[in-house]
């Protein structure tokens, strides 16, 4: 099987061209491939397929390193766009890609930068999904003898966002692994830890479901910014500082679409015997 290894801010992927439906990669195979020492090593596997809808250029599927399929990945979609350009599968700046639950509109910019229309952030518990008795602007969860305040939002995949005072001192994996599997989130959840710097700047670390903490999370950055704007503490243009680098997120609030801008980088071409 041929593949391409790519990364976006240190969040790494392999991309497989499966236009001819040649490969069926089950959960066990994906887990083996993702192993950092015994396989290729990656946070997510992206599979490119022929479009299934009119006016769509490509369909793509996303699998976490634990083998479970998810519906969206912000860093992954930027890598996919760069892959399509590098492999000369597209010859235009603007493309449309379908996932399992939405359409994504992408603009290929200069200097390896990609702009993605991430759609409208959804805050209703049923869109996460999040089980709660009452819809609130802020929620609480009891952990380690104290309550943790959080918000929920979906951008094609579910996110819990927690605002913290000092991100460098936050036990991301300790808290994240608990919340990820909490029974309030029947499909598990990504957990973002946001440190407010000023209205145009935040710091962010993300514990991704089925993966653990990653160097960057595109949808996590969009989730954190949308929550900050929802809480009226952030402006409509925000620079998100992640462990692996910087993403720019723009959102005017309400039912308007949110845009994410960041780079995507080719690492190498490879092949592996399944």
Give the residue numbers marked as catalytic. 73, 217
Is 114 within 8 Å of 264 (Cβ atoms)? yes
Specify the residue for token string 């959804």.
122
Among 157, 59, 50, which residue's Cα sits nearest to residue 99?
59
Helix, strand, or coil here: 231? coil
For residue 150, give the DSSP letter. E
Among 156, 125, 154, 127, which residue's Cα sits nearest to residue 138?
125
Is 221 within 8 Å of 240 (Cβ atoms)? yes
Rounded Cα–Cα distance for residues 3 and 42 (Å): 12
CA dist 9 → 61, 76, 129 (Å)? 20, 11, 28
Q: Which long-range contacts link 247-256 to residues 24+ away (Cβ below 8 Å)? A: 247/9, 247/74, 247/216, 247/218, 247/221, 249/221, 249/222, 249/225, 251/121, 251/222, 251/225, 251/226, 253/229, 255/120, 256/120
| Token pair of 89 as six digits | 């599968």
């Amino acid at each position: 099987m041929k593949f391409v290894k790519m990364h976006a801010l240190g969040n790494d992927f392999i991309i497989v061209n499966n236009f001819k439906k040649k490969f069926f990669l089950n959960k066990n195979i994906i887990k083996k491939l993702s192993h950092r020492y015994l396989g290729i090593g990656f946070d997510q596997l992206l599979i490119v397929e022929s479009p299934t809808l009119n006016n769509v250029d490509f369909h793509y599927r996303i699998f976490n390193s634990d083998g479970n399929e998810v519906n969206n990945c912000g860093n992954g979609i930027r890598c996919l766009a760069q892959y399509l350009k590098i492999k000369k599968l597209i010859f235009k700046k603007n493309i449309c890609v379908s996932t399992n639950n939405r359409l994504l509109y992408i603009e290929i910019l200069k200097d390896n930068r990609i702009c993605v229309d991430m759609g409208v952030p959804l805050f209703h518990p049923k869109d996460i999904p999040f089980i709660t008795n009452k819809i609130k602007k802020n929620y609480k969860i009891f952990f380690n003898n104290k309550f943790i305040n959080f918000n929920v939002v979906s951008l094609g995949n579910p996110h819990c966002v927690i605002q913290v005072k000092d991100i460098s001192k936050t036990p991301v994996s300790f808290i994240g692994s608990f919340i990820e599997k909490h029974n309030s989130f029947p499909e598990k959840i990504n957990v973002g830890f946001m440190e407010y710097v000023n209205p145009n700047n935040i710091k962010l670390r993300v514990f991704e479901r089925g993966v653990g903490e990653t160097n960057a999370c595109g949808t996590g950055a969009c989730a954190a910014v949308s929550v900050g704007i929802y809480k009226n503490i952030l402006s409509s243009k925000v620079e998100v500082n992640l462990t692996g680098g910087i993403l720019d997120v723009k959102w005017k609030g309400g039912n308007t679409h949110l845009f994410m801008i960041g780079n995507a980088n080719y690492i190498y071409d490879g092949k592996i015997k399944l």
